[in-house]
Amino acid sequence: MSTRREAGRIGIMRAALHLVAVITLLAALGALAPRGAEAAKKKSSSHKTESTTHRASAQKVDINTATESDLEDLPGIGTVLAQKIISGRPYKSVADLKHAGIPANVVAGLKGHVMASRVAPSASRASATSTPRPRRRAGEKSAAEKHEAAEKHEAAENHEAAESATKPAPKEASGQRTFFGIPIGGSAKKEEAKSAPAKSERSEARSEASSGGEETHAALQPPEKGMVWANTDTKVYHVEGDRWYGATKHGKWMWEDQAVREGFRASQQYKKP
């Protein structure tokens, strides 16, 4: 009996020792794990820092070969300053940018972002003379001068058109006769208007005289006494006692008031009673 009890106690002690050993091992592993993680973090961070520094140094913009768009991506550099940098090439160092008209504070802000590579003098001369400006012939105007001349010509034409539009129309001659600037008598137009009926009557008289030779019949007698003879060719009416009363080639008998309404005029030989 005692032997069995002794064996049981030994077994329990062994199990307890195994359990203590496992717990101790786990505790040791738990203490080592944070240190390993911290070391790994430090190692990775240092690697990242080195890669970032290498990448930053590799991404520096070369002010001697960079394009205008690459220069515009730099801090404080716009289109105007980028063009100044390109026109001032080549540069021996970043500090030489001040000779191209770049402000000092902008040059200071570019440190760490740009670099100046060595450029062969022949290459710089080739870049400077690669695009020569075309020479202008003697007497040939530039595009700007031609454009300015065209604008001046157009402005002169517009000015002339505006003056002609605002200029009053010339007054028609009134035909008024003057003596030292003082109007005398009636106007020429009024006198012509007054003399027109007299001229027409004289021409009618001449036509009546000429039409007498065309008479082919004797004088006609009116249907009723007191009627007038209206010459339809000359639009003149004749009364009784007139030479051409009923004796013209073309005509008709009418009452005097009817002849006047139809536009006939009395003959020169007509005398009102």
Task: Please give the pLDDT value at position 206.
Answer: 56
Cα(63)–Cα(65) distance, rounded to whole angstroms? 6
Q: What pTM does this model have?
A: 0.28
The token pair at 216 is 């082919």
- The answer to whether the CB of 205 falls within 8 A of the CB of 224 is no
Element (H, E) at 266: strand 265-266
What is the β-pairing status of strands 252-254 and 228-231?
Answer: antiparallel
Task: Please give the pLDDT value at position 217.
Answer: 56
- The answer to whether the CB of 247 falls within 8 A of the CB of 215 is yes
Element (H, E) at 29: helix 2-58
The token pair at 194 is 């007054």
Task: Please give the pLDDT value at position 132.
Answer: 44
Q: Give the residue among 20, 22, 23, 24 at the shortest CA–CA distance from 12.
A: 20
Task: Please give the pLDDT value at position 102.
Answer: 92
- The answer to whether the CB of 249 falls within 8 A of the CB of 219 is no
Cα within 13 Å of Cα(5), Cβ side: 2
What is the β-pairing status of strands 114-115 and 182-183?
Answer: unpaired
Burial class (CB in 10 A: 0-12, 13-18, 19+), 44: exposed
- The answer to whether the CB of 228 falls within 8 A of the CB of 242 is no
Can you name the residues that pair with 62 across neighbouring β-strands? 115
Full pLDDT tens readout for the chain, 273 residues: 577 777 788 888 888 888 888 899 888 887 776 676 676 677 666 655 555 444 545 588 999 999 999 999 999 899 999 999 999 999 999 899 989 899 999 999 998 899 988 866 555 444 444 444 455 555 556 666 777 788 788 888 877 777 766 666 555 445 566 766 676 765 555 555 555 555 555 555 555 444 443 344 578 889 998 899 999 999 999 898 888 888 888 999 999 999 999 999 988 876 555
Task: Please give the pLDDT value at position 192.
Answer: 57
Task: Please give the pLDDT value at position 175.
Answer: 55
Helix (H, G, I), strand (E, B), or coil: what is residue 271? coil
Task: Please give the pLDDT value at position 128.
Answer: 42
What is the β-pairing status of strands 236-238 and 265-266?
Answer: parallel
